[in-house]
Structures are given as C-alpha cells and as structure tokens.
Amino acid sequence: MIDIIDALSGAPAWRGSSWGVIRDRQDSELMQQDIDRMVSPILEKFSPLKKKR
C-alpha cells in the first residue's frame, strides 16, 4: 500500500495498493527488482491534481 499525504493539510490525498509476494532474497538487487515490479504499476495510476492558475 502506498499513501500520498497532502503536505499542507496532512490529509490523505491518494492511496494505491496491490497484492503479491516479495521474496526474501539474499541478493539485494533481485529483491529490489521484485519491489520495483510491485510498486511501478501502483505509481502509474497516480495522477496528481493540477491546480488551475
């Protein structure tokens, strides 16, 4: 689960989640690849609100 918090108000602004298994690996590079595979699709769905000026 990834929560994005509004820095000014402290209120939750967005939440993304996924479900899966990240294996406990001896090789930190392989573990990072597993994490990236889980996190990237979640963050692709994040589109911050753009303020009109």
Q: Is the pTM of this model over 0.75?
A: no
The candidate with the shortest Cα–Cα distance to 37, out of 12, 20, 24, is 20
| 2-5/12-16 β-pairing | antiparallel
Per-residue confidence (pLDDT) for residue 53, from 0 to 100: 46
Tell me the pLDDT tens digit for each residue of 1-53.
Answer: 999 999 999 999 999 999 888 888 889 999 999 999 999 999 999 877 545 44
- Residue ranges per structural domain of the chain: 2-44
Per-residue confidence (pLDDT) for residue 2, from 0 to 100: 94
Helix (H) or strand (E) holding 52: none
